[in-house]
Amino acid sequence: MSRRKKKFACGHLGYGTVCHRCEQKQSLWEKKKREKYAWQESFADDPIDLKSLPKNVVLKARDIIRKLQNQTSYTNFRGKRLRHNRFIISIPVTRHYRLICRDHGSFIQPEAVVSHEDYNVCKPGIRI
C-alpha cells in the first residue's frame, strides 16, 4: 500500500491534514509580530522618548539611564558638563548619539537622546 501526496489549498504537496510549510511560516510571522509588539510596549517604561532612535541606541541609552538611576557616576560613561551651562551633562551613547542630562544636585535627570549633529549645533542661549 503506497501513500499518495495530496495537494493542499495553498498549492504545496505533502502528506497529512495540514501543510507544514505554511504552518511553519505562519508561526514565524506570529513570532515576529509578538516581538514587534513587545518592543513597542517597552517604550512605555522609558523616562524619555526613545521611539525614533535605532534599536542599538535605544538599548545602550536604556542601560546608561538605568545605571545613572542606580547612582553610578556620569564620568564612568565619559560624560562631560557643557561649558556654557555646567548643569547640563552630555554622555556619549554611540559615536553618533548623545544622552543629555540635567544635574539636580542629588540626582541626574535624563532629558533627551540627540544625534551628534543636533548636539553640535546647539549653542549657548539655546535651551536643550
CATH code of the domain in which 74 resides: 3.30.2310.20
Which triple of cell numbers denotes residue 121? 549645533
* Residue 2: per-residue pLDDT: 58
In a domain, 12, yes or no: no
> Confidence band (pLDDT; 50, 70, 90) for 121?
low
Could you identify the residue written with the cell 509578538? 34
How does the average pLDDT of the chain come out, rounded? Answer: 82
Do 39 and 82 lie in a common domain? no
User: What pLDDT band is residue 97 in, cutting at 50, 70 and 90?
Assistant: very high
Claim: this prediction has a pTM higher than 0.85 = no
User: Residues 41, 62: one domain?
Assistant: no
Interstrand relation of 13-14 and 6-7 (parallel, antiparallel or unpaired) = antiparallel
Tell me: do 39 and 74 sit in the same domain: no
* Range 110-116 contact pairs with CB under 8 angstroms and sequence separation of 24 or more: 110/47, 110/48, 110/65, 110/68, 111/48, 112/48, 112/49, 113/48, 113/50, 113/53, 113/57, 113/61
Separation CA 80–CA 72 (nearest Å): 14
Q: Are residues 61 and 73 in the same domain?
A: yes
> Domain tally for the chain?
2
Q: Range of 56's domain? A: 48-121
- Residue 9, in any domain of the structure: no
Query: Would residue 13 count as lying in a domain?
Result: no
Say if strands 80-81 and 88-92 run parallel, antiparallel, or are unpaired.
Answer: antiparallel
